[in-house]
Amino acid sequence: MYLIERYIMDGTRRLVMIIVGFLIFIFASYSAQRYLTDAANGTLALQAVLDIVFYKVLIALEMLLPVGLYVSVAIALGQLYNDSEITAMYAAGCSPLRLYKAVLILAVPLGILVTVLSMYGRPWAYAQIYQIKLQSQSELDVGHLQAGKFNISDNGRMILAGHIDPGSQRLSDALIYTLSGGKSHVYKAHTVEVTDPSPITPSVVLHAGTAYTLEHTGTDDKEQIYNNLKLQLKPLDQSADVKSKSASAAELGRSSNPVDIAELQWRESRGINAVLMALLAVALSRTKPREGRFATLFPLAVLFTVIFYGGNICRTLVANGSLNVFPGLWLVPLIMSIGVLILIARELSLLQKLIR
């Protein structure tokens, strides 16, 4: 490998490790704070927080790694431009394509890693998170319910209890709210005995209370006074979005559901996007003398925002059928590829003018 390529790669590689490490720390801290709040509110068991944060970081790597490389390339080359080292390379007859070659040597392996993470690590992590929530987030798990607070689950069920006895699986002065079939169901009981805390088949027995059924569209509300009422509650369902994210690539490939197609295209395009972002950073890292190596960070930040939200918008449009499957999410990489070719041609034309 040539000296110039090694020199550029060494400086970029160090920055990638520093920036990605910093981004992982920030993201993990934010995720931990979010899920610790859920644990404090009684909607998630405390011991599950660390596991979920780990899986969330694994999912986020498909975005953090490309961002780390993107910013690192911009800063490293910006420093070389600021120190006039690239100007000296051009004066010695070095082609701008060697800058792209050095970055490609780093970007291609990273793009392959991102593709593997997105295709296999992402669905596995989402499946693990769902299983943890399924086991831990059941609001009938008396072990993590909190007295005097509204304990709310993902499917909208709410439990409020004046006193909780984990040993006997009983709630006192309890209120249970559920929603199903366009009706709200409210159960007020002196005591509630949890007979099955499973999120799949949750059931309770209510003693001495009143049940209310409230129609959302009509006036056929009902009231029932009971002494002992066995109640089978609605299970914790997995949303269509979660099912799509946790499905394997093979399952998504066999599906004709637009949501699944959008998810598969998202996974397939992550690695290519990472490589193209790094190449765009090469072209946009050029700075004028004494401008400083951070002078291009603002346009690079704007470009990243456009790429990120452009991908999300295309994904949403494919999922709801507003955008054809082809080009679908590949529209963003296609536009990025055209942009890279235009910028490379511009670099070569500028070099030819300098030579003349």
Contacts 24+ apart (CB under 8 A), 303-310: 304/67, 304/70, 304/277, 307/273, 307/277, 307/332, 307/336, 310/335
Please tell me the distance from the alpha carbon of residue 312 to that of residue 329, in angstroms, as a whole number.
9
The count of other CB atoms within 10 Å of the CB of residue 42 is: 20
Residues 6+ apart with CB under 8 A from 117: 58, 61, 62, 65, 270
Q: What is the pLDDT of residue 236?
A: 61
Q: What is the pLDDT of residue 239?
A: 58
What one-letter code names the amino acid at 277?
M
- Residue 34: pLDDT band (50, 70, 90) is confident
Q: Cβ distance 166 to 142 under 8 Å? A: yes
Of the candidates 337, 106, 283, 297, which has an alpha carbon nearest to the alpha carbon of residue 114?
106
Residues 6+ apart with CB under 8 A from 331: 314, 323
Residue 23 has pLDDT above 80, yes or no: yes
Q: Where are the domains of the chain?
A: 3-136+240-355, 151-232
Residue 356 has pLDDT above 60, yes or no: no
Q: What is the pLDDT of residue 291?
A: 62
Q: Cβ distance 138 to 199 under 8 Å? A: yes
Indicate the pairing of strand 151-152 with strand 158-165: antiparallel
Q: Cβ distance 236 to 154 under 8 Å? A: yes
Q: Cβ distance 149 to 164 under 8 Å? A: no
* Percentage helix, strand, coil for the chain under 3-state DSSP, each rounded to 5: 60, 15, 25
- Please tell me whether the overall predicted TM-score, pTM, comes out greater than 0.85 for this model: no
Please tell me the distance from the alpha carbon of residue 352 to that of residue 110, in angstroms, as a whole number.
32
Of the candidates 133, 146, 158, which has an alpha carbon nearest to the alpha carbon of residue 234?
158
**Range name among 2-6, 66-70, 206-210, 279-283 with the lowest pLDDT average:** 2-6
CA 157 to chain CA centroid, nearest Å: 25
Q: What is the pLDDT of residue 144?
A: 67
162 by DSSP, 3-state: which?
Answer: strand
Q: Is 169 left (phi over 0), alpha (psi -120 to 50) or beta?
A: left
Please tell me the distance from the alpha carbon of residue 46 to that of residue 192, in angstroms, as a whole number.
24
Tens-place pLDDT, residues 250-305: 888 888 889 899 999 999 999 999 999 999 998 888 766 666 556 677 888 888 89
Q: What is the pLDDT of residue 351?
A: 54
